[in-house]
Amino acid sequence: MSISIALAGLIVGFVVGMTGMGGGALMTPVLILVFGVSAPAAVSSDLVASVIMRPVGAAVHLRRGTVQGGLVLWLSIGSVPMAFVGVLLIKVLAHGRQIQNIVDLALGAALLVSAGAMVLKALINLRQRARGEHLKEADDGRVPVRRIPTLLIGALGGLVVGMTSVGSGSLIIACLLFLYPRLKASQLVGTDLVQAMPLVASAALGHLIFGDVQFALTTALVIGSVPGVFLGALVSSHAPPRLVRRALAIVLTASGLKLIGVPTLALGIVLVVVLIAGPILWVPVRRADGFARRALGRSVDAHNVGGEMGSATPQAASSS
């Protein structure tokens, strides 16, 4: 069983290093559904393992300069105290499991909306590029930090992570996508991996004190996930942005479907269909520049008609 858990940790670690997401959203359900680990032990052990796993991927992005320090600071100010509060809420409230189910459903829906938003953003970018109005991504310099919204994102992410172990990557990346649309995909992943270190450490401390950590389980996860997250981070820091964005969209979709309770078999079928049909359906969309050509053609036709009517008016006036 330890070898199987280590292999699962390797796969999930690669996904985390590649996209910054999927640690809790993928690993915790795998531990519960596949390996029969109790939910409290899965949440607690996964968080403690993440304390060791995430710095490995973060170090790769720090070396590559794909981390936005200002965002990390303000996210952490909000997330660190609220992660500990989330652990206490689950411990104190009598209906903690019911609350966790509600949080899982809300988070799953948010992740699915975020995945759809990424597709919509790609479509808009195609149309903007066709018109010469393409929204450029940020360069490697610092982006202006919107402090209060960023702090609130961190606080929300910290609370959810403390309660469910999910969201240190998926929820915060989904929010940052909307708040900072000009961030490069590699910057998004690198920043998220670094901000997750103090967040996960705070939540893990709470679970060490109040939770149900199984150190044998945690050790197996660490053995598999550390090399996985290192390889994933290397790929992410070198990969073309469009590849990282596609990986982000797939992980958002998988995490969201799992959190809203889609069965594992159905989830696998959906992902296979998306992986096969998605690229095929995207080809004509890309060739048509996000259907911008049709819109452009209609606007040109309207302009020509308007021009003809305008030129006809003076002629009619002169003949009269």
Q: Whole-number mean pLDDT of the chain?
A: 77
Rounded CA-CA distance 155/81 in Å is: 8
Q: What percent of the chain has pLDDT over 90?
A: 13
The answer to whether position 312 is within a domain reads no
Model confidence at 121: pLDDT above 50: yes
Kindly write down the DSSP assignment for every residue of 255-316, as one continuous string.
HHHHHTT--HHHHHHHHHHHHHHHHHHHHHHHHTTTTHHHHHHHHHHHHHHHHHHHHHHHHH
Q: Which two tokens stand for residue 208?
A: 């060490």
* 217 occurs within a structural domain: yes
| 134 inside domain | yes
Asked if the structure places residue 310 within a domain, the reply is: no
In a domain? residue 241: yes
165: left (phi over 0), alpha (psi -120 to 50) or beta: left
Give the tens place of pLDDT for each residue, 74-109: 999 999 999 888 888 777 765 556 666 766 676 677
Tell me: pLDDT of 269 over 60. yes
Q: How many helices (H) and strands (E) does the chain have?
A: 12, 0
CA-wise closest residue to 177 among 20, 14, 39 = 20
Contact 158, 88 (CB under 8 A): no
Residue 187 to residue 61: CA distance in whole angstroms: 8
Distance from C-alpha of 89 to C-alpha of 83, rounded to nearest angstrom: 10
**By residue range, what is the domain housing residue 56?**
2-289
Residue 299 has pLDDT above 50, yes or no: no
Distance between CA 226 and CA 221 in Å, rounded? 8
Asked whether residue 261 is domain-assigned, the answer is yes
Q: Identify the pLDDT of residue 95.
A: 56
Residue 319 lies in a domain: no
Measure CA of the first residue to CA of the last residue in the chain; give whole Å. Answer: 95
In this structure, of 20-29, 269-278, 281-290, the range with the lowest mean pLDDT score is 20-29
Q: Tens of pLDDT along 172-186?
A: 877 887 788 778 777
pLDDT for position 103:
64
Q: Is residue 254 part of a domain?
A: yes
Domain count, the chain: 1
Q: Which helix (H) or strand (E) holds 141?
A: none
Please enumerate, as own/partner, the contacts of 260-265 that have beta carbons within 8 Å and a separation of 24 or more: 260/104, 260/105, 260/108, 260/109, 260/112, 261/105, 261/108, 264/33
256 or 132: whose pLDDT is higher?
Answer: 256
